[in-house]
Amino acid sequence: MSIEKITSAIIDEAAAESEQILNVADIKSRGVIRELQKRIDIETDVAIKQAEAERERIISRRRSVAEIDSKKIVLSKKQELIDRCFEETIPYLLSMDREKYIRFLVAAGKKSGFTEGELIFNEKERDTVGADVVKALEEQVPGGKFELSQETRKLKGGYMLRKGQIFIDNSLEAMVEEKRRDLTGEVARILFPTEK
């Protein structure tokens, strides 16, 4: 079998595995959201009861101001709960099996479109998974020439990919924040369905 066919087979297998990892992560994240929703329902009930009690006190003084304030309280608590969903994503990602976590980080690097660059991790991940992520990127990206930087950053996880003066932020914080922008509305609809 030629090198090209072997390389192509490896790339196809890696792409399929990456897709499978993303599908598994999606299924697990939905499970996490369901569990969080149970907790959030309880906290939401408490928050709504507190907001309604506060509203009743305020209404006796100023009815229109009270209605606005109660909605602000409920919306604030909902926003806090939505924020917590995304905040809990990083510890979830960090708790992934080592090999699965490496595949996740490699998939992020492949999406960058870079074929070369320097990976800057936090100190712990530089020493534990950095070399494996670099090696996997070099193997999976055609013409890949990546290196592990001795420089570190204060990241919760993931890495910065630097090519010259250009940086791609593949930190967990940046990836979660990007998903937050894309998914906040959907998470809100799941956690707080419209009442009929």
Structural domain count, the chain: 2
Q: How far is Cα 95 from Cα 28, in angstroms, rounded to an integer?
A: 12
Q: What's the mean pLDDT in 2-14?
A: 67
Name, of 2-6, 7-11, 36-40, 128-132, the range with top average pLDDT.
128-132
Kindly state whether residue 187 falls inside one of the protein's structural domains: no
Helices (H) and strands (E) in the chain, counts: 7, 4
Q: Are residues 18 and 70 in the same domain?
A: yes
Q: How far is Cα 7 from Cα 40, in angstroms, rounded to an integer?
A: 47
- Which structural domain, as residue segments, surrounds residue 86? 3-93
pLDDT score, position 33: 66
Q: Are residues 11 and 89 in the same domain?
A: yes
pLDDT band at 126 (very low <50, low <70, confident <90, very high): very high
Q: How far is Cα 187 from Cα 83, in angstroms, rounded to an integer?
A: 10
pLDDT score, position 8: 65
pLDDT score, position 162: 93
- The predicted model scores a pTM of 0.57
Percent of the chain, pLDDT > 90? 36
